[in-house]
Amino acid sequence: MNSYSQKQFSYLIVTIAYWTFMLSDGTLRMLVLLHFHQNGFSPLQLAYLFLFYELAGIFTNLSAGWLANFTSWAKYPSSINFLFINNK
């Protein structure tokens, strides 16, 4: 069995989590698309549905960033920062 360094193991865990999220997110989007298509929505209506979904995501991220900056949450390290901080 191969032994990985701490950085390699951390990279592997983050990569697997990212791939898992991307596959499940893509699957969920396709299921939503097919569900609304079966309910009689036109392709243009489906395009607007996903446009509003993406705009809501942008608004949410901007709001969370502003809130973190306003409340000084950005000063506190997140649980994943330990992977990228070089402790000397």
pLDDT at 87 over 90: no
Domain that holds residue 79: 6-83
Is the Cα dihedral 16, 18, 20, 23 positive or negative? negative
pLDDT at 42 over 80: yes
| Residue 88 placed within a domain | no
State pLDDT tens for residues 5-28: 888 888 999 999 999 999 999 999
| Residue 41 placed within a domain | yes
| Residue 15 placed within a domain | yes
Say how many Å lie between the first and final Cα of the chain, rounded. Answer: 29
| Residue 46 placed within a domain | yes
Whole-model pTM: value is 0.57
State pLDDT tens for residues 45-65: 999 998 998 999 899 989 988
| Residue 68 placed within a domain | yes
| Residue 52 placed within a domain | yes
Q: How many domains in the chain? A: 1
Name the token pair of 4.
Answer: 């990985």
CB 83 within 8 A of CB 10: yes
